Amino acid sequence: MSQIEIIKLNKFYTVGDTIIPGVNEVSLNIEQGEFLSVVGHSGSGKTTLVSIVGGILRPTSGQVLYNGCDICELDDNGLSEYRNKKIGFMFQFASLLPILTATENVLLPALFSPDQQQAKDNAEKAQRCLELVGIGEKGLAYPSQLSGGQQRRVAIARALMNDPEIILADEPTGDLDEDTEREIMELFSRINEEQKVTIIFITHNLELARQAKKQIRMHQGIVEELAL
């Protein structure tokens, strides 16, 4: 059984009298531990697809099975638990809170967990996450004291805080220079290999997309090409 099975998924938006397909009849299987890139131009449906998989958006129709459970049938509490326990999110910008240190930013997902650990255990875990991404010495630094690449590493550590089974990364290297892009992609690859975390990586950069183990190309909401 696939970790994620997407079956005839549709998401349509209505703008005036016009219906715009965000995702159009997409069916796809994603195995545990895969590193998948989703590539396409702006408006192709990449973010919509991944947002549905992450339980942020509800589809118009279709199914998203996570280990056989259709997340589209979960109520809001069920989706919140799914997002908190199973998914680690990374977005186009690091989105760190400037008034919090790196460690405090990493700790944020644990604050929303219904199964909170003791504060000391959480802090120790946040430190381990920072060490995993190579910036263990930056725990007390504020975002303004970090480079763009270091901020991305903090965001990855934050995504790992609740031991997710899946990381959804939406254009996480979009505003970085080429050397830092390469470092972040190497870090994703290492986490995928060592932690066995499934990674779904959105990009419009074909060169970055090819670094994943599997690539999907989207166009107007349709999976146009699947290359292994």
pLDDT, tens digit (0-9, with 9 covering 90-100), for 144-193: 999 988 998 999 999 999 899 999 998 888 777 888 888 888 889 999 99
Mean pLDDT of the chain: 89
Distance between CA atoms of residues 185 and 201, nearest Å: 10
Structure tokens at 26: 């997409």
Let me know how long the chain is: 228
> Percent of the chain having pLDDT more than 90?
57
pLDDT at residue 148 in the model: 87
Rounded CA-CA distance 28/26 in Å is 7
How far apart CA 219 and CA 40 sit, in angstroms, is 6
- In whole angstroms, give the CA distance from residue 105 to residue 30: 30
198-226 pLDDT, tens digit each: 999 998 888 888 888 899 999 989 988 66
Q: What is the mean pLDDT of residues 16-34?
A: 91
pLDDT given for residue 71 in this prediction: 96
**What's the rounded mean pLDDT across residues 20-40?**
93
Pairwise CA distance, residues 142 & 173, whole Å: 20
Q: Concatenate the DSSP letters of all residues of the chain into one string.
A: --SEEEEEEEEEEEETTEEEEEEEEEEEEE-TT-EEEEE--TTSSHHHHHHHHTTSS--SEEEEEETTEEGGG--HHHHHHHHHHHEEEE-SS----TTS-HHHHHHHHHHT-SS---HHHHHHHHHHHHHHTT-GGGTT--GGGS-HHHHHHHHHHHHHTT--SEEEEESTTTTS-HHHHHHHHHHHHHHHHHH--EEEEEES-HHHHTTSSEEEEEETTEEEEEE-
Global pTM reads 0.88
pLDDT band at 128 (very low <50, low <70, confident <90, very high): very high
- The per-residue pLDDT for 183 is 86
Helix (H) or strand (E) holding 94: none
Query: Does 5 have pLDDT greater than 70?
Result: yes
